[in-house]
Structure 1
Amino acid sequence: MATVDPSTLITDDWQVSGQIYTDPGLFAAEQERVFRSQWLYVAHESQLREPGDYVTTYAGTQPVIVSRDGDDGQVHVLLNRCRHRGASVCQAEQGNSSFFRCAYHGWTYANNGSLRGITYDAGYAGLDRGELGLVRLPRVASHAGFVFASFAADGPSLEEHLGHAAPYLTTVSQQGPEGIRLSAGGHNIEFRANWKLQIENTIDNYHFGFVHRSFLDVLADRIGAPPPIVKNILTNPEWRTVDLGNGHSAHEFGDPRSGNNHGQLGDLPFNLIIFPNLCFVGAQVRHVLPKSADRTQVRLYPMLHEGESEEHNAGILRVHESFFGPAGMGGSDDVEVAFDRVADGLRATEHDWLYLSRGLHREEPAGDGRIIGRADDELPQRAFYRQWFRSMTGGEK
């Protein structure tokens, strides 16, 4: 499937071939070896509170419906594809329904995926309706309200997959007095570049003082002094990056246990990557959806605090919008520089290698499987690609 050997794309000194971002055959192999073998984030339970609630999204490149069964309350992840002629059966991003009906020929499915009705069924002989329901992903599990699914019927449990990252998700879920909710909806960004660039950018503190210089200048004008973020990244010993194992990583700049970052309203005290497709930055859930080797969609959902006032949650939204919103000062910087310009630069292939070795010489094992690095190191990128390498090759890096 892959047109290049994945084992040749990352060197021992952490040079990474540009083909890791551009090769269509490699992208196809990722869908099989990464997205069909790992636990994938698909939804948050606050989007599925009532029987019949559903959201539509993607597991890798495959369209799925995440629905709460109207009978027993169980959450199912169903392929959004009619078993008759292949049309998607649900178009809305979210809603509530007891059934899904294909608009092409009217085949109808219950919200648990079972086939409910075939129009003009006298035209068929011998169909086994019990075998013609929407295809279910075999494993669905949640941790701290975050719902994950896997195409693999067997393998590590979700708790085993999360490992050291699980307590961070628990902290996320406890941000409000009664938890969090994604009821404000979200917005999408799309860019013509590889999905892994968005994962890398989630914890890339090295870029902040350069890519977001205009934001820092505006902030300095507002507060009357240079904002301390860049100095903290470079010199604050309490700010650190952590390889959590299994491809997950965090950048801690507050207290990860209490959730206090002494910063903007609603913001987490860390940035977090959950391999392969879930990220947290500020007060947002960032769901990364690969479309092709050179096309990515990212869905951003601000996290509101359950049990807080409308004014409090409105404040969270305003902070989120000011930096990450469609007209915000930060998100557009990343799309322009970290995604679009990188994609353009990768067309120059005379020397097709990138360097992810920053801080490699000063990584420190924590003794429990974690690895600690400085805030400005490229440890999170190496954490991600260690798991990527294992998934793609079966070996270690």
Structure 2
Amino acid sequence: MSRHQADPALVKALVTPERVHRDVYTSPEIFRLEMEHLFANTWVYVGHASQIPNPGDYLSTEIGGQPVLASRHKDGSIHVLRNRCPHKGTKIVSETCGNTGFVFRCPYHAWLFRTDGSLHAIPYHRGYQDTDLMASEAAAGLPRVGDYKVYRDFIFARLATDGVDFESFFGDSLSSIDNMVDRSPAGKLVLEGAPLRYMHPCNWKMLVENQTDTCHPMVAHESSAGTAVSVWEREEAKGGKKPMAVEVYAPFMAPYDFFEKMGLRVWPNGHGHTGVTTSIHADYSAVPGYFDQMVAAYGEARAKAILGENRHNTCYFPNIMVKGPIQTLRVFRPIAADRTLVESYTFRLVDAPDMLFERTLMYNRLINAPTSIVGHDDLEMYERAQLGLHADGYEWVNIQRLYQPGEAEDVTDVAGGTSERQMRNQFQAWVKYMTMSMTPEGAGLREAAE
């Protein structure tokens, strides 16, 4: 079957303003179309520049099932390339990161490529004498992705050659990345430590939706975070400072009214965040010396503005979440229709007190790790949902909390913190980018091919 053979009308029928069909979570065919269309047409997170600080450094990953790599060239520039040799298609690198030196060497026939992807040399080159090799695409070097951008050291790429440009795709949503980086007195982040990796037996979109679902914490996490808070309340009467772990756990038990007043903001193209007015990260204990460092770097007014912005979870469509006040980033990597690998990364604020990074590491370990008690709560809910969607009787999933008829789509707007507006926003973008490269006649072509 050739590419683009899908009927956009059928895809659009799976999503309405108030509900989505269960097939978007369970169908292997829909998953295949997501990899081919959705992940090709959107801007997808590749990695962070601090992971490849030196010439010759590289990192490898996948976008929509396609292997790609990001490399640091000798002039300091970063390049995002498809991880395949133009000769026989062999993957150039198989490690997740490393340093290749001056060139990449194909392990099959030893073709050599500079770290900007350009062809450096071909062994026994005279074998191509009197051929048009140098005029062919093979001589062009490692194939590039459609476009890529390094924004404040965050590396993004779009596989499709044509499409929405970086600035138009993200727009004002980049303010969450700005705030996360600006929390460093030096205006710089460094990704430190290996990510926590956690396989989930569910569709990737369930994890993305959960990041702005504020009606589940006090329910799903009652037995874990709720128990931790109860234990502390018994000890609190004895005096003493509240442990950092309790500060992390306690906000999960906030009531509905707190989360509602927190607010939610949506942006075009499926991006959005909880925590417009406040968030569960707003009341952590002050870190000695940190505010003074921020004032010295930015001035008092700017420092207060930066630290006063405590967004909860910012979802960048399609598949990452950043948590600025705690300096973490989560990637939801689709493996199959019912399998998702979650990678949780931690960042150090350059020139900030070590205690901030200590809190970042603790948060990641307590909330996102495979050994986390909070993470296991969510895992059970995802697994139950993935299994439950196979039950016949009703084929739709409801996403209409705080829905208003005629609700504007693909806009910047603010809603109540318990609204499912961001979920609706994500699915509007899902339809937009799923169908962008589909042809109306695709269904007929597909039937003929089959």
- TM (norm. structure 2) is 0.78
1:120-135 correspondence to structure 2 within 5 Å: 120-125=124-129, 126=131, 127-128=133-134, 131-132=137-138, 133-135=141-143
Q: State yes or no: 1:269 paired with 2:299.
A: no
Structure 2: distance between partners of 1:217 and 1:364: 39
* Residue identity (%): 29
CA distance in 2: counterparts of 1:362 and 1:228, whole angstroms: 32
Deviations 1:120-168 (A, max 9, x none): 4444442328732111113111323222111233333212111220211
- Cα distance change of structure 1 residues 333 and 17 upon mapping to structure 2, 3 Å threshold: same
Matched, 1:319 2:324: no
Match for 2:12 among 7, 11, 18?
A: 7
Given the alignment of the two structures, is residue 216 of structure 1 paired with residue 226 of structure 2, yes or no?
yes
* Closer/same/farther in 2, CA of residues 114 and 273 from structure 1, 3 Å limit: same
The offset of 1:273, in angstroms, is 0.6
> How far apart are the structure 2 equivalents of 1:170 and 1:300?
19
74, 82, 91: which one aligns with 2:77 = 74
Q: Residue 36 of structure 1 aligns to a residue in which SS?
A: helix
Specify which of 9, 29, 35 is matched with residue 31 of structure 1: 35
Q: CA deviation at 1:251?
A: 0.2
Matched, 1:114 2:82: no
Decide whether aligned partners of structure 1 residues 54 and 264 sit closer, same or farther in structure 2, where only a CA change above 3 A counts: farther
> How many Å separate the matches in 2 of 1:192 and 1:122?
52
Q: Which runs of 5+ in 1 are unaligned?
A: none
Alpha-carbon distance in 1 for matches of 2:353, 2:435: 50
| Alpha-carbon offset, residue 365 of structure 1 | 7.1
In 2: Cα distance, 1:382 partner to 1:235 partner: 22
Whether the 8 Å CA contact 2:368–2:374 is kept in 1: the answer is yes
Tell me if structure 2 keeps the 8 A contact 1:81–1:89: yes
State the partner residue of 1:354.
397
Q: Secondary structure at the match of 1:388?
A: helix
Aligned counterparts of 1:236 and 1:294: Cα–Cα separation in 2: 30
- For residues 200 and 72 of structure 2, the distance between their equivalents in structure 1, rounded to whole angstroms, comes to 31
* Count of aligned pairs between the two proteins: 389
Once the two structures are superposed, residues 220-252 of structure 1 have per-residue CA deviations (whole angstroms, 9 ceiling, x without a partner) of: 322448945444543466401111221001001
Aligned to 2:329: 285
RMSD: 3.0
Kindly indicate whether structure 1 or structure 2 has the higher relative contact order, using CA contacts under 8 Å at least 6 residues apart.
2
Higher helix share: 2
* Match of residue 150 from structure 1: 158
* Residue number in structure 1 paired with 2:243: none
Indicate the residue corresponding to 2:300 in structure 1: none
What SS class does the counterpart of residue 98 from structure 2 fall into? strand
1:204 paired residue number? 213
Q: Whose strand fraction is larger, Structure 1's or Structure 2's?
A: 1
1:303 aligns with 2:375: no
Contact 1:188 1:298 in 2 (8 A): yes
1-structure distance, mates of 2:144, 2:424: 33
Cα distance 1:265–1:383, how it changes in 2: closer, same or farther (>3 A)?
Answer: farther
Separation of aligned partners in 1, 2:136 and 2:99: 24
| Alpha carbons of structure 1 residues 227 and 40: separation in structure 2 relative to 1, 3 Å | closer
Aligned to 1:188: 197
Q: What is the CA distance between 1:361 and its match in structure 2? A: 3.3
Structure 2 runs not aligned, ≥5 long: 237-248, 288-306, 437-450
Deviation of the 1:180 alpha carbon: 1.7
Question: Does structure 1 retain, via aligned residues, the 8 Å contact 2:259–2:418?
Answer: no
Q: Which amino acid aligns with 2:134?
A: D
Larger Rg: 2
Give a deviation string over 1:200-237, Cα, whole Å, max 9, x none.
Answer: 11111111112212222212322448945444543466
**1:381 equivalenced with 2:427 (yes/no):** no
AA at the equivalent of 1:128: M
| C-alpha distance in 2 between matches for 1:300 and 1:210 | 23
- SS of 1:263's equivalent in the other structure is coil
CA distance in 1, matches of 2:405, 2:250: 27
CA shift for structure 1 position 271? 0.6
Deviations 1:97-133 (A, max 9, x none): 2322222333332211122233344444423287321
> Which deviations, in whole Å up to 9, do the C-alpha atoms of 1:356-392 show, x marking residues without a partner?
11111399879x9322222222111111111112223
